[in-house]
C-alpha cells in the first residue's frame, strides 16, 4: 500500500505546491536561536515575538521572500576595540523564517526591551458560491 500525500490524495486537488512548501520548511534549518513566541491577538491577527537582546534596530532585517517572512540578525563586530575577561554572551547571527498563508499581511514591526514584535493580519476570504452550467454532449 502506498503512502498518501497531499499531492496524491484523490480529494485534494492542486495541493502539490503546499506539499513542496512543507518539505522546504522542514529543511529550512530554523534552529532554536533566537527563541520566539507566536500569539493570536484577535480572531484575524497574530504577533510573532523574537528575543533579540543585544541587537540594535540596524542589526535586524525583515523581508518577505517567496511567501516567507524572513528575519535576519547580524551584530556588528566591535570585539577588536574591547577587551573581554569573560565572553558569555554570544554575538551570533541568525535567520528565522515563517511561512505565510495566502491573505496574511505583515504589519508593523517594533523593537522594545530586547524583544522584536511583528504583527500579522489575515484577511477574511469572501464566501463565493459559483454555479457551473452543464452542457449537453448531444448536437
* Those residues with Cβ within 8 angstroms of residue 96's Cβ, 6 or more apart along the chain or in another chain: 30, 34, 36, 50, 70, 71
pLDDT tens by residue, 64-82: 998 889 999 998 766 678 8
pLDDT tens by residue, 77-119: 666 788 889 988 777 899 999 989 888 999 999 999 999 999 9
Q: In terms of Cα–Cα distance, which of 54, 43, 62 is closest to 110? A: 62
- Going from N- to C-terminal start, the domains of the chain cover 1-30, 31-122
CATH of 31-122, one of 2.40.50.140, 3.20.20.370, 2.60.40.790, 2.60.40.10: 2.60.40.790
Strand (E) or helix (H) holding 46: strand 45-51
Cα angle: 128, vertex 130, 136; to 5 degrees: 175
Q: Chain centroid to CA 1: how far?
A: 35
Sign of the torsion angle spanned by Cα atoms 45, 51, 52, 54: positive
Calculate the alpha carbon distances from 24 to 8, 9, 27, 64, 115 in Å: 18, 20, 5, 16, 27
Amino acid at each position: 500500500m502506498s503512502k498518501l500525500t497531499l499531492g496524491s490524495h484523490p480529494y485534494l486537488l492542486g495541493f502539490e505546491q503546499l506539499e513542496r512548501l512543507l518539505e522546504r520548511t522542514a529543511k529550512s534549518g530554523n534552529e532554536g536561536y533566537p527563541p520566539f513566541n507566536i500569539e493570536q491577538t484577535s480572531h484575524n491577527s497574530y504577533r510573532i515575538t523574537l528575543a533579540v537582546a543585544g541587537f540594535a534596530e540596524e542589526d535586524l532585517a525583515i523581508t518577505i521572500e517567496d511567501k516567507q517572512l524572513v528575519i535576519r540578525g547580524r551584530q556588528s563586530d566591535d570585539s577588536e576595540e574591547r577587551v573581554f575577561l569573560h565572553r558569555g554572551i554570544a554575538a551570533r547571527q541568525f535567520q528565522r523564517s515563517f511561512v505565510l498563508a495566502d491573505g496574511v499581511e505583515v504589519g508593523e514591526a517594533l523593537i522594545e526591551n530586547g524583544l522584536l514584535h511583528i504583527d500579522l493580519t489575515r484577511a477574511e476570504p469572501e464566501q463565493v458560491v459559483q454555479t457551473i452550467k452543464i452542457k449537453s454532449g448531444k448536437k
